[in-house]
Chains A and B, each alone.
Chain A
Amino acid sequence: MKYWKGIEELESTPEFMSTAFAEFLPVKESHESKDATSAPRRDFLKLMGFGVGAVALASCETPVHKAIPYLNKPEEVDPTISNFYASTYFTGSDYNAVLVKNRDGRPIKLEGNPESPITRGGLSARAQAAVLDLYDSGRLQHFAVKGLRTETEEVDRQIQAKLAATTGKIAIVSPTIISPSTKKAIAAFAARYRTTEHVMYDAQSASGLLQANNGVLPSYDFSRANVIVSIGADFLGTWISPVEFAKQYSKNRKVSSDNRSMSRHFQFETAMSLTGSNADVRESVKPSEWGAVAVALYNAVVGGGSNSTFSNSRVAPQIAKAAAELKANRGASLVVSGSNDPAVQALVTALNQSLGNVGTTVDLTNASNVRQGDDARMVALVKEMNAGTVGAVIFYNANPVYNHPLSAQVKSGIAKVPLSISFNDRLDETGSLCDYATPDNHWLESWNDFEPKRGFLSLSQPAITPIFATRQAQESLLRWAGNNETYYSFLRNNWRGVLGGNNFNAAWDKAVHDGVATGSGLFAAPAMDTPALSASEAIARISGAPKPAANLVEVFLYEKVGLPASGSGANNPFLQELPDPVSKATWGNYLAVPRAMAVTNKWEQGDVIKVTAPNVAPIELPVLVQPGQAVGTVSIALGYGRVASGKAGDGVGANAASLLMATPNGIMYATAVTLEKTSATSPIAQTQTHHTIMDRRSVVQESTLAKYKENPKEVTEYEKVATPDGLEKPNKVSLWQDYQYNNHHWGMAIDLNSCIGCGSCVLGCQTENNIAVVGKQQVINRREMHWMRIDRYYSSDHHKSEFDTKGKLSTYAAMEDPSDNPQVIFQPMMCQQCNHAPCETVCPVLATTHSSEGLNQMTYNRCVGTRYCANNCPYKVRRFNWFSYYSNEKFETVNGHMFTDLGRMVLNPDVTVRARGVMEKCSFCIQRIQLGKLEAKKQKRRPKDGEIVSACAQSCPTDAIVFGDMRDTTSRISQLLRREDGERAFHSLDSINVQPNVTYLTKIRNSASEMFGPEEEA
C-alpha cells in the first residue's frame, strides 16, 4: 500500500522534494533597512549598546512585586487550587456538558462532564477553544446606542418606551434555543408585547429533516447500528450532535480478540468530510445526486415504486451492497442524511421506518432539540421586514447579515424597522446595523438551562462575574417586559416544577453540582407549517428536480469541524489555527477541487479562482486540490470571511453564505457556479506536508476485519532485525543501558481504530499547555506550535489481484496516480517519550533529559536553541519558538490573548509561557502528573488509575487515547497493552529502537476490499 500526505508529495515535484526532508524551512525574513550591507554592523552596535544598558540596569534594581490578597476570601476558593464547576456549552450548534476549571476565580479550561448521559465526558474541538472567547477583547464591553456607550438604565428606558409605542410585529431572531427558561423568558416578553414572534433559523439548517419528521428532530443511537449509511451527513464532525454520535459510533468500532465485530459504515458524499474519511466504504457523489442515491437505496431496500437505479456505474454497486447489508440488519441499522431537502429526508425517514430502526437506532420520543430553525419562517420574516410591517426586531446572538443567504435583504430590512436591538456579544455585521446594542453575557458568566434532548436537562452556572458591563439577554427581556426578577430566580422558579417541590433545595443543589439532571420535557417541538412528504411524493419530486446545466460546476457548501457555519468562532484564533482534519489547512477557506478538474484547467494549488453564481457578487478563493472530492464539483467552507468579528477573524477567507440558496423548501447547501481563474495566487497555510515522515510503512499500520477475524496475531507487521542469533525484535539489540523505573512509568496507548481525527485533543492540549498561536504566515513557514498533531495519510486503493490481471508494472503505475477516492487514516502524533531518546543524546546543554518515570523532560530555562534535538527527532514533534509570541507585535492579531492582562487570564499558571529561542514539545502533561502524585501523597496513598490523565486523553470523545502508569499492573493501560501485545499493539518506527512510551493499536477496516498487505511485495 502506498501512503501519501498530500498531492505535492505524491507527485514529488522538485520544489517539494527540496524541502521535504528539512525540519526547518529556510525562510528569508525581509529586512527593513534599505542599505542591506550596512545593517548588520549597525544592528550589532545597537544590540551591543542595548545589551550593555540592559545588563547595567538589570543589575541595579530588582523589580518590586506586589502580593495582593482578597479583602474577604470566599470560603471555597483557595489561591492556586483549581475548582471545577459543571456547566454547559451550547452556542447554537453542538451541545457539550462541560466542567469549567476555575483557577483563582477565573475559568482557564473546559473539560467534558462525565456525568452527562449525552456527551459522557467528551468535548468537541469548538468547546475546547470556547474558553478563549470569554476573554476576547473584541467583545462589546457595554451597552450602546448607535455604537456610542450609554448607561444601561438609559438604554432600558429608551427601549421600553419604544417597544410600548410599537404597533407592528416584534420579532426576536435567534439560532436554535434549547433553554426552557429562556423560552419562558421570551414568552414572558411576548405576554407583555402581544405582537412578538420568535423566529429561529440555523446557519447549518436541519429544517428539511424536521419537516420530514413532522417537526421532530430524531435522536440517533449509532452504537446500536451494525450498518450505517450516511448520505452526506458529517455526523462525526458537524452534524447535529457530533460528540454524542462519535461516542456512540466508536463504541461499535472498538475491537479486541474477544470481540471481533464492528459496524460497517457506508458514506456517500461530495466533499471529503471527517465522517467520510472514517467510513469503510466511501463513494463521492455530486450534491445533485444525493436524492438519486436516496431513491436508489429506497428502491433497493423497500422495493416497489419505480425501479430507477443509480446511473453512476461506480456508485451503483456500492448502493446495492449497502442495501443488502441494511436488509440483513433490520432494526440494527441506520440511514442518515445531511441534506436539507425535505424530499431526501422523507426517503431517509421512510427507509428507517421500513427497516424497523425506529425505536432502536432512531428515537422519536426522546427527540433532540438542538435544531429547531425553520428556514421558511425566517425567509418570511425578511420579506415582512422589507415590507415595513415589522415594528421592532431583536437579534439574539443571530447574525443573519453575515450568515443568511438573503443577507442583502436582511440589511435593507433592518433599515426599515423602526427599532432594532442586538444582543450579540460584539458589534458584528448585524449588530453594527442595529440602533441598540445590549450585549449578552458570555455563557461562562451566565445562569441558564438546556434541554438538548427531551427529558435530559443541563445547567450552566456563572464561573466568573461578568467581565464587562453586559447583561444576560434573558434578564434584559424580563426587564423590558416589566419584570424586575433576576434571571437566576426566574430560572430557579421554573425548575421547581421540574425537580419536584418536596426537597427542592437539595435537588437543585445536586443539579447545579452535577450540571445535568433528568426531568420532564419543558416544551414541545413546534409543528412545522409544511407537512412531511410521503415516499412516493419525495421520489417524484427528486426525479423531477431540474439538473444543473452541464456547463456549470456544482459547489457544495459545508461546515468546518473547527469553525461553526454561523461564523461565531471566527475570532477565536485557536479554531482558526486548528488544521482541518482532512485538508490540514488553517486560517481561511478555499476552493476544494478534485484533481481531475485541477489538471484539466491547469490550476495549481493556491491559484485564486473567481466563483460566480447568478445574482450575487462573485467571491475569490484559492484552489486546494482535495483527493476524494466528487468529480465535477467543488466545495467551500462556510463561516469565513467575516468583516466585523474582531482582530483575528476579520478578512480570513471569503464568505460563501451568499452562494446559499433560500428555496421554498429551505436553505440549499449546494448551487451551480462558473469558475474562472484570476491572475492572483494566495498560498494556503497547510500543516499537511510539514514534519513529513516519508517512509510510512513502519509508522502507521492497518488491516481488515476479515484478517483480524481470522487471526488477530497477523494484522500487525512487527519489524525484526538480523542478529547473530537470527531475527529478533529491535529492542533486543541495544547500545544503551535500559532505564529502571521503580516508581511510575507513564505511557500512552492510542487506538487508531477509535481515533476519528476530530482535533479535540489538539485544542485540549493547546489550552492546557499555553501553546501560542502563530498565524497564517508562520504556518506556511512550518512553524506552527501545536504540541500534538493528527497526521492524516491518504492511501490508494489497489488490489493485489490487479497484479495478476493487469501486470505488476501497470499496477505500480496506477498506484502512483493519486486516487480519486483514497482511503484515509489518522494518527495522533506527539512526543513519543522515547526510552532511548535520540534528542537527549544530542543536546549540548542537557536541556532535554530522561526522568525516572520514563518521561523525556524538556527544560526551557536550560535550552539555548541549537535545535539539534528537533533535527534528530525521528517523529518531528519538537517545536522551536522562533519569536516571542507573547510580546512581538507581529503576533498581536493572532495571539492577542497573551498580550493583554484580560487575555492572559486564560493561561494555565502551572505551565511556563515559553520564550523566544527555546525548544518545546509535549510533556505528557507533566503538570497534571505532578499534581496527581502530590494529591496522592497528601492522602498517603498511591495514585489511582484514571486520576492522572493527559489533556488529550481526557478530551478524546471516542476514548481512543488511554494514559496511565505502566508500572501499575492493574491500570487500564497495562491491561490493554498486555491484551494487545503481539496483536494490534505496535510502536511507530519500531526498527530504529528508540523504544517509545506511546503505543499505537493497528487500525482495522471493515471493508471487503483486500488492500495491499505489508510492503514486502513492493
Chain B
Amino acid sequence: MNSNRLRSLPHLLLALLLTFAGAQQATAQDASASTATVSKAGVTPGATDGATASTAAAPAAGGADAAAVSAGDALFKANCTQCHAVNEQVVGPALSGISKRRPITWIIPWIKNSAKVVASGDEYAVALYNKYQKQQMPSFGLSDKEITSIVAYITSQEGGAAAAAGGATVQNAGAVDGAAAAGAADTGAGKYVDILLIALVVVLIVMVVTLIIIGNLMKDVLRGRKDLDGRDTEILEQRFDWGKFYRSPVLRGIVGVVFAVVLLYEGVQSVMAVGLTQGYQPTQPIAFSHKLHAGENQINCAYCHTSVYKGKSANIPSANICMNCHSQIKTESPEIKKIYRAIERKQPVQWVRIHNLPDLAYFNHSQHTQVAGLQCQTCHGPIQNMEVVYQYSALTMGWCINCHRESPLNTKGNAYYDNLVKLHDTKNAAAPFTVSSNGGTECSKCHY
C-alpha cells in the first residue's frame, strides 16, 4: 500500500503542475476579459441612493406634497419611463407641463383607457393620437390617487428644458459624488498610514547612510593609529565575501523554504480559483447596454426582468418586452434589427449566461429581492454603469455565507418574523438578528 502511494507520487506532482499551468492560463484569459477590474470597495448602493436623494430633494423645493411625489416617482419609473420622459419626447410626448396643458379630469381617464377617450371623439385626444402615428398608449390599471401622484411628480420635475438638463446632470453628478465619497471614506484611514510609512522609510535611509559614514570615519581613524597588530589590521581590511554568503547552507535553506511556501500558496490559490468566473464578461449576441437602459433611461430592472420579485430566476426578457419600446424607437439600429430577425424567424435570441450557479445550489431571486429587500446592485454590482455586463460577485459559497452571516434580517413589517424578532430581542438583543441566526447558513437552505 505504502509503496503504491509512493509510486503514484510523481503522477500527482505532474497533475499538480499541469493544474497550475492550466489555471494560470485561465486566469490570464479571465484577466484579459476583465481588465476593467472590479473594485472591491463595494459599489453602488451609493450611486442609486444618491440619485434618488437628489430627485427627492427637488420636489421639496417645489412645495408639492413630498409623499405623493416620491410615490409618483416610483410609479413613473415603473410604468411610464418606457415611453415617456419629462422633458423630451421619446415614444410618447414630453410630459413637462402636462398639468397645465390638460386638466386632471382628462388625464385620469386617458391613462386608464386612452382608446376609449379617442373613441369618444375628444378633439385633443384624437389630435394627439394622430400626431403620434396612431400608436395607442396601453391601458394602465392605476388608481386615481396613483395617477395624481404621478402628475405631482412630473410637475415637480419640470421647470424648462434647461433646468431639466441641469437636473439630469445633477442626478448624474450625485451618483458620481456618491461613489467618490464612498471611495474617499474608504481610503481616508489608509492615507495616514502611507505617510507614516514613507516617513519611516526616509528616516531609515538617513540612518543607514549616517551609519556608513560613521563606519568609514571610524575606519579612517583606526588606520591612522600605529598600535594595531596583524589581527586587528586583518579585521580592519576585511571585505565582505559574497561568495561565502552565497554558499551559506542556512541562507539556502531559508530561501528554499520561502520558495516552497510561496509555490504552495500560489498553487492552492490557483486551484481554488478553478471554476471561478468572477469578472466573466462574454460578448453577447446583441450589444445590449445596461448603461443606456438602466442607467441613463432609468428603466426599472423589473420592467424587463419580470419575474425577479416573483420567482427563482430573474428571467432574461422575452423579445416581446423589447418590442414594447423598440417597435417605435431606434428601429434602424442594426442591433435592434437582430431582434426583429429573431421574431421573424421564430428563433429566440441565444444570450450567453453570465451568472452560473452549480445545479446543486438552490438560489431564489424573490427571496432576496421581495423578502429581504436587497437592491440588484448588491450582488450584480454597478449594473447601471455596465456597457457590457460582467459577473461582479464571486458567487462562491463563502461569498454567500459571509453575507448571510453579516446581514441583518429584513423583518420590518413582515408578520412572518414578528415572534422570532420578539424571541431574539428577549434572549439576545445585543447581537443583530442576522440571516444566519435564523438558520440561514444551514446546508439545506440552499442544497437539496
Question: With a CB–CB cut-off of 8 A, which chain A residues contact B351?
Answer: 66-69
Complex Cα spacing A56 to B447, Å: 28
Interface: A938 (CB within 8 A): yes
Complex Cα spacing A851 to B361, Å: 17
Interface: B263 (CB within 8 A): no
Contact of B349 with A69 in the complex, beta carbons under 8 Å: yes
Contact of A80 with B311 in the complex, beta carbons under 8 Å: yes
Complex Cα spacing A67 to B286, Å: 13
Complex Cα spacing A925 to B439, Å: 18
Within 8 A of A (CB), among B1-28: 8, 11, 14-15, 18-19, 21-23, 25-26
Binding stretch for chain B, among A295-303, A747-755, A853-861: A853-861
Interface: B342 (CB within 8 A): yes
Complex Cα spacing A59 to B271, Å: 8
Complex Cα spacing A57 to B25, Å: 11
Interface size on A, residues (CB 8 A): 56
Contact of A65 with B353 in the complex, beta carbons under 8 Å: yes
Nearest B residue to A81 by beta-carbon distance? Answer: B311
Partner of B280 from the list A62, A68, A69, A80 (CB cut-off 8 Å) is A62
With known contacts A56-B18, A69-B317, A852-B439, A861–B360 Cβ distance under 8 A:
yes
Contact of B360 with A79 in the complex, beta carbons under 8 Å: no
Complex Cα spacing A989 to B259, Å: 59
Interface: B54 (CB within 8 A): no
Interface: B40 (CB within 8 A): no
Contact of B371 with A912 in the complex, beta carbons under 8 Å: no
Question: With a CB–CB cut-off of 8 A, which chain A residues contact B364?
Answer: 934
Contact of A912 with B352 in the complex, beta carbons under 8 Å: no
Contact of B371 with A51 in the complex, beta carbons under 8 Å: no
Nearest A residue to B20 by beta-carbon distance? Answer: A59
Interface: B438 (CB within 8 A): yes
Contact of B18 with A71 in the complex, beta carbons under 8 Å: no
Interface: B333 (CB within 8 A): no
- B328-355 interface mask toward A, CB cutoff 8 Å, 1 = contact, 0 = none? 0000000000000011001011111100
- A95-130 interface mask toward B, CB cutoff 8 Å, 1 = contact, 0 = none? 000000000000000000000000000000000000
Whole-angstrom distance from the CB of A598 to the nearest CB of chain B? 46
Binding stretch for chain A, among B87-95, B196-204, B295-303, B414-422: B414-422
Interface: B219 (CB within 8 A): no
Whole-angstrom distance from the CB of B280 to the nearest CB of chain A? 7
Contact of A934 with B367 in the complex, beta carbons under 8 Å: yes
Complex Cα spacing A851 to B445, Å: 9
Within 8 A of A (CB), among B300-322: 306-307, 310-313, 315-321
- A337-379 interface mask toward B, CB cutoff 8 Å, 1 = contact, 0 = none? 0000000000000000000000000000000000000000000
Partner of B307 from the list A80, A913, A927, A941 (CB cut-off 8 Å) is A80
Interface: B141 (CB within 8 A): no
Q: Which of A911, A913, A942 has the most CB of B within 10 A?
A: A942
Whole-angstrom distance from the CB of A28 to the nearest CB of chain B? 22
Complex Cα spacing A727 to B22, Å: 66
Interface: B356 (CB within 8 A): yes
Contact of B444 with A59 in the complex, beta carbons under 8 Å: no
Contact of A59 with B22 in the complex, beta carbons under 8 Å: yes
Question: With a CB–CB cut-off of 8 A, which chain B residues contact A64?
Answer: 282, 352-353
Interface: B121 (CB within 8 A): no
Contact of A938 with B442 in the complex, beta carbons under 8 Å: no
With known contacts A742-B423, A927-B448, A61–B353 Cβ distance under 8 A:
no
Q: Which of A847, A862, A937 has the most CB of B within 10 A?
A: A937
Contact of B439 with A851 in the complex, beta carbons under 8 Å: yes
Complex Cα spacing A79 to B277, Å: 25
A-B CB contacts (within 8 Å), total count: 173
Contact of A70 with B318 in the complex, beta carbons under 8 Å: yes
Partner of B350 from the list A59, A68, A851, A926 (CB cut-off 8 Å) is A68
Nearest A residue to B307 by beta-carbon distance? Answer: A78
Complex Cα spacing A79 to B416, Å: 26
Contact of A79 with B315 in the complex, beta carbons under 8 Å: yes
Whole-angstrom distance from the CB of B229 to the nearest CB of chain A? 67
Interface: B106 (CB within 8 A): no
Question: With a CB–CB cut-off of 8 A, which chain A residues contact B307?
Answer: 78-81
Nearest B residue to A936 by beta-carbon distance? Answer: B416
Q: Which of A67, A78, A927 has the most CB of B within 10 A?
A: A67
Nearest B residue to A940 by beta-carbon distance? Answer: B414
Question: With a CB–CB cut-off of 8 A, which chain B residues contact A68?
Answer: 316, 348-351
Partner of A69 from the list B14, B21, B316, B343 (CB cut-off 8 Å) is B316
Nearest A residue to B18 by beta-carbon distance? Answer: A56
Interface: A151 (CB within 8 A): no
Contact of B439 with A65 in the complex, beta carbons under 8 Å: no
Complex Cα spacing A70 to B343, Å: 10
Within 8 A of B (CB), among A672-701: none
With known contacts A79-B311, A80-B313, A71–B319 Cβ distance under 8 A:
yes
Question: With a CB–CB cut-off of 8 A, which chain A residues contact B367?
Answer: 934, 937
Whole-angstrom distance from the CB of A587 to the nearest CB of chain B? 29
With known contacts A48-B8, A80-B312, A857–B444 Cβ distance under 8 A:
yes
Within 8 A of B (CB), among A907-936: 910-913, 923, 926-927, 930, 933-934, 936
Question: With a CB–CB cut-off of 8 A, which chain A residues contact B343?
Answer: 71-72
Complex Cα spacing A71 to B338, Å: 13
Interface: B443 (CB within 8 A): yes
Interface: B362 (CB within 8 A): yes
Within 8 A of A (CB), among B410-434: 413-416, 420, 423
Question: With a CB–CB cut-off of 8 A, which chain A residues contact B18?
Answer: 52, 55-56
Interface: B366 (CB within 8 A): yes
Complex Cα spacing A64 to B282, Å: 9
Contact of A71 with B352 in the complex, beta carbons under 8 Å: no
Within 8 A of B (CB), among A484-536: none
Question: With a CB–CB cut-off of 8 A, which chain A residues contact B415?
Answer: 940-942
Partner of B320 from the list A57, A71, A80, A927 (CB cut-off 8 Å) is A71
With known contacts A71-B348, A80-B312, A65–B366 Cβ distance under 8 A:
no
Complex Cα spacing A195 to B275, Å: 70
Contact of B318 with A71 in the complex, beta carbons under 8 Å: yes
Partner of A73 from the list B318, B346, B358, B416 (CB cut-off 8 Å) is B318
Contact of A69 with B315 in the complex, beta carbons under 8 Å: yes
Contact of A912 with B447 in the complex, beta carbons under 8 Å: yes
Question: With a CB–CB cut-off of 8 A, which chain B residues contact A57?
Answer: 22
With known contacts A52-B15, A857-B444, A79–B313 Cβ distance under 8 A:
yes
With known contacts A67-B352, A857-B442, A940–B26 Cβ distance under 8 A:
no
Interface: A671 (CB within 8 A): no
Question: With a CB–CB cut-off of 8 A, which chain B residues contact A851?
Answer: 439, 442-444
Contact of B443 with A849 in the complex, beta carbons under 8 Å: yes
Contact of B350 with A910 in the complex, beta carbons under 8 Å: no
Question: With a CB–CB cut-off of 8 A, which chain A residues contact B26?
Answer: 59-61
Interface: A617 (CB within 8 A): no
Question: With a CB–CB cut-off of 8 A, which chain A residues contact B282?
Answer: 64
Contact of A938 with B444 in the complex, beta carbons under 8 Å: no
Question: With a CB–CB cut-off of 8 A, which chain A residues contact B22?
Answer: 55-60
Question: With a CB–CB cut-off of 8 A, which chain B residues contact A926?
Answer: 444, 448
Interface: B359 (CB within 8 A): yes
Whole-angstrom distance from the CB of B275 to the nearest CB of chain A? 7
Contact of A860 with B320 in the complex, beta carbons under 8 Å: no
With known contacts A52-B15, A59-B274, A69–B443 Cβ distance under 8 A:
no
Question: With a CB–CB cut-off of 8 A, which chain A residues contact B19?
Answer: 55-56, 59
Complex Cα spacing A913 to B359, Å: 9
Nearest B residue to A927 by beta-carbon distance? Answer: B448
Complex Cα spacing A926 to B446, Å: 10
Can you show 21 pairs from A to B with CB atoms below 8 A apart?
A52-B15, A56-B21, A58-B22, A58-B274, A59-B274, A68-B349, A70-B348, A72-B319, A72-B343, A79-B313, A80-B313, A81-B311, A851-B442, A910-B448, A912-B359, A912-B360, A923-B444, A926-B448, A934-B367, A934-B371, A940-B414
A-side residues, CB < 8 A to B, are 44, 48, 51-52, 55-62, 64-73, 78-81, 742-743, 847, 849, 851-853, 855, 857-862, 910-913, 923, 926-927, 930, 933-934, 936-938, 940-942
Query: With contacts A79-B313, A910-B312 known, what are 4 further pairs, Cβ within 8 A?
Result: A68-B351, A70-B320, A851-B443, A934-B366
